[in-house]
């Protein structure tokens, strides 16, 4: 449900990026700790140390703020540079670095908590669930699809269906531990176990999508 909006602020004054960051940080904290419905715009403004007017000058409603918080989390943990094919870096090295960052994000307490919130909201607010998916997982898959498409074009991998391959890669990286974390059955892998898991996934993936000339 969208909360009532106050009158929009007058034009002319530029938005303060530091306040925007404070708002996003407060939103991330409250959404995770109190859930979506339990986090009001008033509470987020108070946590961020800004007025409600300032809050609404940056985000038109709570749904827009939620989507921005999800997107910001993904961009912080999975920066754009991880999706670039740069000279001097093999495709295996690119996938290892990306895989490690994705595995850490997907299985982090913050991500697990957010996914639990969305499972709760799935039947109550399916529009919000779609907004969450579009702002986070979908953007990640699109970036990964583009990366794999470029690797295919350069002959580094044979990936005729990069969208499917992107989903394969993410699913392999999550592994069984992600579901066990979701239901509180197990603890996260330690650093050594996580590195070994990502290395095994990348080895399998590169072998499965090796250029045809290397088969």
Domains of the chain listed by start with CATH number: 17-60 (1.10.10.60), 78-210 (1.10.357.10)
Q: pLDDT tens digit string along 135-168?
A: 889 999 999 999 999 999 999 999 999 999 999 9
> What percent of the chain is helix, strand and coil (3-state, nearest 5)?
70, 0, 30
d(CA 86, CA 14): 36
Flag whether pLDDT at 5 surpasses 60. Answer: no
The pTM (predicted TM-score) of the whole model is 0.82
Return the pLDDT at 14. 59
Q: Is the pLDDT of residue 128 over 70?
A: yes
What pLDDT is recorded for position 7? 46
10/176: higher pLDDT: 176
pLDDT of 27 reads 92
45-54, 77-86, 153-162, 169-178: which range is least confident on average?
77-86
Contact criterion met (CB below 8 Å) for 26 and 48: yes
């Amino acid at each position: 449900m969208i909360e009532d909006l106050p009158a929009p602020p007058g034009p002319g004054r530029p938005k303060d990026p530091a306040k925007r960051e404070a708002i996003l940080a407060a939103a991330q904290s409250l959404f995770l700790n109190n859930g979506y419905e339990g986090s009001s715009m008033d509470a987020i403004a108070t946590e961020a140390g800004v007025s409600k007017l300032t809050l609404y000058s940056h985000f038109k409603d709570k749904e827009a703020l939620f989507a921005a918080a999800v997107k910001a989390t993904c961009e912080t943990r999975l920066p754009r540079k991880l999706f670039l094919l740069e000279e001097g870096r093999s495709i295996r090295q690119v996938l290892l670095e990306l895989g490690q960052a994705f595995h850490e994000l997907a299985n982090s307490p913050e991500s697990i908590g957010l996914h639990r919130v969305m499972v709760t909201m799935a039947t109550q607010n399916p529009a919000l669930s779609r907004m969450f998916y579009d702002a986070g997982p979908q953007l990640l898959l699109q970036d990964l699809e583009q990366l794999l498409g470029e690797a295919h074009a350069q002959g580094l991998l044979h990936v005729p269906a990069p969208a499917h391959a992107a989903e394969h890669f993410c699913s392999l990286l999550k592994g069984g531990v992600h579901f066990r974390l979701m239901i509180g059955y197990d603890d996260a892998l330690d650093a050594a176990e996580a590195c070994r898991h990502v290395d095994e996934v990348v080895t399998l993936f590169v072998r499965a999508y090796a250029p045809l000339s290397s088969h």
